[in-house]
Amino acid sequence: MKVWKSPVFYLGVILLATVIAALLAPFVVDWNSYRAGLEDYGRKLTGREVTITGPISVRFFPWPRLIAEDVHIANAPGLNEPEFASAERIDVRMQLAGLLNGTIDVESIEIDQPVVALERTAAGKSNWSFSPPADLAGLLDRVKLDEITLSDATIRFIDRRRGNGEIALKLPEARLASPGIAGPWRLTAANAEYGGQNFDLSLNTGIWAAEAEAFRFSLHIAGADGSGPTFNFDGANHGDRLTGTIQIETATNGEGKTDAEGQLRPLVIRSKIAATFDALAFDGIEISSLDPNEHGTLISGSAKAALGARISAEADLSAPKLDLAEWAGARVNQVLREGGSLAVADSLLATLPAGVKIAGSLKVTSLAAGGETLENVELRMEANSEAIRVRKLLATLPGRSRVLFDGVFFPGTTGAELAGNLALESNDLRRLASWTWREGKDAIAKTWTGSRGRLKLQTEFSLTGQRFRLAKTQYEIDGVAGRGELSVTAGGRGAVDLRIDAGKLDIDNLIPGGIAAASFGGQTGLAGLVGLLVPHRDARDLRLTVQAGQLLLNGVEADDVTVDIVSGASGIDLKTIEIGSVGGAKLTASGLILDAGSGPDGSVGIDIKADDPRGLLRLLGLIPVDKDPVWTAGLGTTALKGIVTVKTRDELPVTGFDVTGRSGDFDVSASGSLSGNTGLDSVRIVGSAELKAQSSSSLARLAGLVPATTDKAAARLLLTGSGSVAEGFLADVKLEAYGSRLDFNGTLGGAASPTAIDGKLALRSTDVSPLFAAMGLPSAALPAGVMVLDSHVTSKARTLALPDLAGRFGMARVGGQLAFAPDGKITGNLDTGPLALDDVLAATFLAWNGLPPAPDASLAVALPLGLTGEIWIKPESLKIHDTFIVSGVQIGLSAGAGEIHMAMFAKDATGKDATIEIGSSGADGNRAIEGKLKLPVDLAQQLRLAGGTPVAGGNGSIELDFTAKGRSPGGALAALEGSGTYDIKNLTLLNISPEDFTAALAGAKDTAGLNAAFDALRGGEGLAAGDVKGSITVANGVADFLPFTIATPAADAVVKAIAEPAAGLIDMSVKLSLKARAGLPAMEISYAGPPTALARGEDKAELMSKLGYGMMQKDVAELERMQQEQLRLAAEEEKLREADEEKLQAYYAQRDEVQLRRRELKVHAEMRVLAAEKLRQQLESERAANAEINRSEIRQRTREIKVHRRLAKLAQQQEEAIETAPSLRVKPLVVKPEPEPDLFKFPVIIVPPSQE
């Protein structure tokens, strides 16, 4: 680089001129006389005119010093600025030793108020290029510097090539230091000023050498207070261009640390730069976080700029991932909150100088914004100080959506506007809406539960600080096309203009749960829309126009829907609301209400016609989407007409209403007025309404109740009232239904408590049974009779209280207190007449469906109407069963979520405690039952035969804990499980007398005697058992009592008992072992049936057989003796046969006698057979007469008959043997005839002998 082109050359020129003047000073006396010579030498050295107009002075002691004032260096010829540089005063201090050695050792130079004007012409020629004579250039090599101080310096840069633009840099204090003119130089300037901004400047250079290709230097610029961005450059000057690296840190605080409160979060920008006066080129741009803990490059790219008469720049940037929340600083967020996105764009555009044009593109693969990630964002834009032109903005939005925008942004403090064409396509409109409307994200998630929505939209988009507009909008949602326009204005009261024209509006597809008429407080739902339309002082102007060929809302299809409404602070013009058809229903409404300043005046007419109004009610959100409320069942063909009028009376608006018509079984009429304008709470309302029904059940269903019965008794509800929300209402309510009448007279509401009630309640009924029947009371016989009840009724904290309920049911007194909480909880105490336990249990644990109690009845899952809480009932007495009535009764009924409990405490006639506790729980109809009881026992009263005769005597108690599970009482009792104990004192089994049986049996001779003995057993004083106790085990619905024994001199007994609660039966057995005779089998006496209608049975067959057999034993012994005798005879005949064999001859001689003997034997045998047969027939007849003789006795008699038959057969065999034996002549044998049978005992039939 030539020395004349050095940027510090002009400083060396000034320094050299000053040093020369100091060297000449000792040789002159009048320094001012050498002014011309000094100026001429300066002209030769710089090639410019040098003028010293001020005084010149020189000192040599104690140190050489030269002072020149008002020094000027002229500009080069052809330039507009007259001077290149000037200074008010220059003070140079040197060392004398250096002068003596031929060198210039400058200790310090102080320059006051220097002004340097750097100028470039339109042709590109600069004024900082000097051309001194070559023979003077070597002088610079002998100059040594220490420090140069500039005070109040000004550096001006005038660029004629860019339209005479001028830059002025002020340096209040600057210091330069260098070991020599060739450098290296170090410049520091504190609190420099440019463009109203103060900053610190530092410059460091390398050593200049003529043969070097580049002169290296670095530059650092930072805010004077340590805040704002900092700039660093490190590079080299190549004469006609600069190259190097630039680094910019975007935000620091006053201490020089990163500042998150700036426009942007702390970032660092690095880039390679190549610059000339005409162009800039940035290559390898890297933008990353200044935080050392965050690694990676956020944005990268390249840029270039043309520095002509107008500056233009172009940048191409890209980023794989970018988070706007991490980029935006506090100031940007503040501007965004206060002025929105337009204000942010306007503030960014304000930083762009006039005459500068920029263009560029940005591609971001993943852009985080608003808690969502936008993908493949592409932005191409151009900008100048007048506008930003968005050539293309393409992004993938949440919900698999794509948006394309092109338009223009025009800046302005109040009129900034963004306008263009917008195209949007979304496959998940719900998610896109949640991202766009973050405040409504929860409401969207709760309501929008249907289709996610597929949207295609194209519109002309316009946005200003006061207005948002979508014009010429074409859309398609889930394949259904439509048109519309939207305009929202924020100025003044604000205005909204919405127009929709669609062939089909399918809201159910997006919101299948439907839109209710109003939520609590009326803030959402259709009532929320109506609230926007109601005119008031601050109401915004609203124009709503909707035309749909088909509307699907709340599960209902409506055809030909038209809505045209204009509303504002001056009134409402209800041009038309028309629903052509909703399941046969049609609604039309129109009217005009205006307020010209003297008060509102107008009317609105409504006409509803429907074969079934439920479709219209569902469309309006008055009934649920998924089911019809019970009260709608009574609705039918409907024709209602209504008119709402608004007038001004006594300077107050008065709104009147009149509705008449019919729906199904109901005649409806209502009329009244609302007056006042001081607020809705203070509006006075006066009116009456009457509802007539053809049946009481219809009116009950209209109230949301489900009557268990139907009737044809007419019903009527009449309501009259007057008052205001603030002061409350004076109301008179009369309800006539089911032959009963309910009256209320008192006050309702008030500012202090809107739900307050205070008045008298009265119920009158000549026969309350229809009312109980409609309630579905599970009772075998519904209570009937006159009922009179009166009570004061109040409410506090939304709890309804009847503190002094009093009256009668029939002749029984009824009284107590009741309280009903808003959550369905009931508490209270009631005093009643006599009750029965089965009625209390049925009313508590069975479903109120109108069916009488039965084993297969359904168990209740909750109290009627879903009530919970606790009630204590004190009846005069409680009938456990017909023979067991307790007094001093307290019955507690409580219910909670899925649980029902009953507890009973009482005393019997003897003062013994009786308690029953039962609980039912479960989430469905399959109920879990658990409980325990302790009941006193009087067996003489509680165990009886069907005729009323006591079965046993004794007193005691039974305790039992049990559990069960089932859907009905029968099912639960069949699955009953549990355990307990019984304890009976002085137990006696009545009508069982073993002693009397023993006495009667002693004289029994026959069957009649036996029967008389058993009759004696059934009498007497009974069988005493004393005190007995034991356990009770319940399994599978059967209660098993531990058996006990009884021992007396006359008999031993074992007593067993079981009970089946499901069937209401008891089975008890007494196994009786009588001791009247040894070895007698036991008999059993049983009792079965209901406890007070038992049937007695006796199993004494074996005992009867045993006793009958004993009486017959004597006759059987005689028969056995005869059998033995015949056996003996048979043996003797065998011996005779053997003797006859030896005496064959004697046999033949006596043949006739033998034949005669044979016939006699045959006769006798037949007689024996006949006798045996007779005996068998007699035994059979006795068996038929005595059916209770057991099988063992029959088998015994059968064996006896078989014996007789064998004897007869044996005799026959002997006879046959005699006939076949050879004839012997033997001595005649004298055979003694058989003894005559006892013909009295065994009848004998004489059969004539057979003929030979």
778-806 pLDDT, tens digit each: 888 878 889 999 999 998 878 889 999 99
pLDDT at 919: 94
Q: Same domain, yes or no, for 1008 and 1147?
A: no
Q: Chain-centre distance of CA 856, in angstroms?
A: 36
Give the mean pLDDT of 1107-1132: 71
Dihedral sign of CA atoms 882, 887, 892, 893 in order: positive
pLDDT score recorded for residue 344: 57
Rounded-to-integer distance, Cα 311 and Cα 358, Å: 8
More confident residue, 44 or 832: 832
In a domain, 1212, yes or no: yes
Domain of residue 1087 covers: 967-1103
CB-CB contact of 929 with 970 (8 Å): no
- SS3 for 493-518, per residue? CCEEEEEEEECCEECCCCCCCCCCCC
DSSP 721-782: EEEETTTEEEEEEEEEETTEEEEEEEEE--SS-TT-EEEEEEEEES--HHHHHHHT---SS-
Q: Are residues 192 and 255 in the same domain?
A: no
Residues 1098 and 1237 placed together within one structural domain of the fold: no
Token reading at 724: 């205001």
711 pLDDT above the threshold of 90 = no
Contact 846, 853 (CB under 8 A): yes
Of the pLDDT bands very low, low, confident and very high (cuts 50, 70, 90), residue 346 is: low
Say whether both 174 and 252 belong to one domain. no
**Residue 695 in contact with residue 712, Cβ under 8 Å?**
yes
Q: Is the C-alpha dihedral spanning 1087, 1088, 1090, 1095 positive or negative?
A: negative
Query: Domain end: 308, 333, 359, which one?
Result: 308
pLDDT above 90 for 343:
no
What distance in Å separates the CA atoms of residue 1200 and residue 1183, rounded to the nearest whole number?
14
Q: Residue 1249: what residue type? A: P
Least confident of 58-67, 255-264, 386-395: 255-264
- With bands split at pLDDT 50, 70 and 90, how would you rate the model's confidence at 57? confident
Residue 1247 has pLDDT above 50, yes or no: no
Please, which pLDDT band fits residue 293 given cuts at 50, 70 and 90?
Answer: low
DSSP string, 31-77: GGGGHHHHHHHHHHHHSS-EEE-S-EEEE-SSS-EEEEEEEEEEPPT
Query: Does position 531 have pLDDT exceeding 60, yes or no?
Result: no
pLDDT at 34: 65
Token look-up 């004007």 returns 117
Enumerate the H helices of 56-158 as residue ranges: 96-100, 134-137
Q: Which residue has the higher pLDDT, 1143 or 819?
A: 819
CA-wise closest residue to 1083 among 1190, 1195, 1187: 1190
Cα→Cα distances 146→69, 106, 179, Å: 22, 6, 6
pLDDT at 18 over 60: no
Alpha-helical runs (H) found in 296-455: 324-327, 330-350, 429-436, 441-447
Strands 977-989 and 1023-1035: antiparallel
Token pair 């029968």 is found at 970
Looking at residue 326, what is its pLDDT?
65
* Burial class, 29, CB count within 10 angstroms (exposed 0-12 / middle 13-18 / buried 19+): exposed
Confidence band, pLDDT 50/70/90 cuts, at residue 142: low
The confidence band for 1111, taking pLDDT boundaries of 50, 70 and 90, is: low
**More confident position, 564 or 100:** 564
DSSP 834: -
Pair 1131, 1098 in one domain:
no
Place of tokens 């009625």: 839
Out of 266-270, 533-537, 582-586, 590-594, pick the least confident. Answer: 533-537
Mean pLDDT lowest among 120-124, 163-167, 182-186, 586-590: 163-167
Return the higher-pLDDT residue of 860 and 436.
Answer: 860
Query: Which long-range contacts (C-beta less than 8 Å, at least 24 apart) are formed by 437-442?
Result: 438/370, 438/371
> Is residue 1044 scored above 50 in pLDDT?
yes
Spatial contact of 571 and 591, defined as CB atoms under 8 Å apart: no
* Phi, psi dihedral angles at 718 (to 5 degrees): -125, 125
Q: Which two tokens stand for residue 277?
A: 């006066």
Average pLDDT over residues 843-850: 89
Same domain, 49 and 198: yes
At 1248 the pLDDT is 47
pLDDT at position 99, please? 56
Q: What is the pLDDT of residue 1243?
A: 46
590-617 per-position pLDDT tens digit: 888 887 667 777 888 888 888 888 888 8
Under the banding of pLDDT at 50, 70 and 90, the label for residue 14 is: low
Average the pLDDT over 1034-1049 and give the result: 92
**Could you identify the residue written with the tokens 């005190």?**
1027
CA distances 216 to 58, 203, 204, Å, are 37, 11, 9
3-state secondary structure of 891: strand
Q: What is the mean pLDDT of residues 182-202?
A: 83
Q: Which of 1237, 1078, 1098 is nearest to 1166 (CA)?
A: 1237
Task: Mention every residue, 6+ apart, whose C-beta is less than 8 A from residue 955.
Answer: 910, 936, 937, 938, 939, 984, 985, 986
Residues 66 and 210 in one domain: yes
β-strand pairing of 899-907 with 913-921: antiparallel
Average pLDDT, whole number, for the chain? 80
Whether the Cβ atoms of residue 164 and residue 179 lie closer than 8 Å to each other? no
Pairwise CA distance, residues 191 & 211, whole Å: 36
In a domain, 564, yes or no: no
Residue 668 lies in a domain: no
Task: Give residue for tokens 């915004």.
Answer: 540
| Position 306 confidence tier, pLDDT thresholds 50, 70, 90 | confident
Residue where a domain stops, chosen among 267, 283, 308: 308
- Crossing angle of helices 1007-1017 and 1101-1142, rounded to 10°: 150
At residue 730, the pLDDT reads: 92
The most confident of the ranges 42-51, 424-433, 1198-1207 is 424-433
Rounded to 5 degrees, what are φ and ψ at 803? -80, -20
Q: Which two tokens stand for residue 605?
A: 């007419």
Domain C-terminal end among 308, 331, 362? 308
The answer to the question of residue 716 being in a domain is yes
Q: What is the pLDDT of residue 665?
A: 85
Alpha carbon distances (Å) from 999 to 360, 374, 928, 1003, 1024:
132, 112, 56, 8, 18
892 phi-psi bin (left φ>0, alpha ψ -120 to 50, beta other)? beta
Q: What is the pLDDT of residue 1241?
A: 42
- Cis amide prior to 184 (ω within 30 degrees): yes
Q: How confident is the model at residue 712 (pLDDT cuts 50, 70, 90)?
A: confident
Task: Return the number of other C-beta atoms located less than 10 Å from residue 949's C-beta.
Answer: 11
Specify the 3-state DSSP secondary structure of 1212: helix
Report the range out of 23-32, 669-678, 708-717, 899-908 with the highest average pLDDT.
899-908
Residue 424 lies in a domain: no
> Is beta strand 977-989 parallel, antiparallel or unpaired with respect to 467-477?
unpaired
Q: Given this model, what pLDDT does residue 412 score?
A: 66
Lowest mean per-residue pLDDT among 164-173, 249-258, 970-979: 249-258
Residue 540, class by beta-carbon neighbours within 10 Å (0-12 exposed, 13-18 middle, 19+ buried)?
Answer: middle
Do 238 and 212 touch, CB atoms closer than 8 A? Answer: no
Residue 742 to residues 716, 758, 767, 788, 790, Cα–Cα distance (Å): 11, 16, 14, 10, 10
Q: Mark whether 74 and 216 lie in a shared domain.
A: yes
205-219, 602-616, 653-667: which has the minimum mean pLDDT? 205-219
Nearest in space to 515 (alpha carbons), one of 499, 503, 502, 529: 529
Lowest mean pLDDT among 35-39, 251-255, 852-856: 251-255
- Residue 670, pLDDT > 70, answer yes
What's the CA gap between 793 and 1186, in Å, rounded? 79
Question: Is 573 among the domain residues?
Answer: no
Whether 297 is in a domain gets the answer: yes
Token pair of 770 as six digits: 């229809």
Residue 584 has pLDDT above 90, yes or no: no
> What mean pLDDT do residues 727-735 have?
91
User: Number of structural domains, the chain?
Assistant: 5
- Tell me if 384 sits within 8 A of 352, measured CB to CB: yes
Q: Which of 34-48, 124-138, 363-377 has the highest mean pLDDT?
A: 363-377
pLDDT of residue 760: 95
**Per-residue confidence (pLDDT) for residue 211, from 0 to 100:** 60
Q: Which residue has the higher pLDDT, 951 or 525?
A: 951
Q: Are residues 1033 and 1138 in the same domain?
A: no
Min mean pLDDT across 175-179, 679-683, 1144-1148, 1158-1162 is at 1144-1148
Q: Residue 898, SS3?
A: coil
Give the mean model confidence (pLDDT) for residues 496-520.
79
Whether residues 53 and 94 share a domain: the answer is yes
Q: Quick check: bond before 783 cis, omega within 30?
A: no
In a domain, 549, yes or no: no
pLDDT tens, residue by residue, 235-284: 988 877 889 999 888 755 544 444 444 455 677 888 898 888 778 888 98
- Within this chain, do residues 1212 and 1092 fall inside the same structural domain, yes or no? no
> Stretch 170-187: mean pLDDT, rounded?
82
Specify the range with the lowest mean pLDDT, choosing from 248-262, 404-418, 482-496: 248-262
Number of alpha carbons in the 13 Å side-chain half-sphere of residue 1003: 5
One domain, residues 209 and 260: no
Predicted local confidence at residue 803, as pLDDT: 93
For 669-712, what is the HEC assignment? EEEEEEECCCCHHHCEEEEEEEEEECCHHHHHHHCCCCCCCCCC
Question: pLDDT per residue over 1153-1199, tens digit each?
Answer: 767 777 777 888 788 888 888 887 887 777 666 656 666 666 777 78
Highest mean pLDDT among 189-198, 914-923, 1150-1159: 914-923
Token readout for 381 is 């834009």
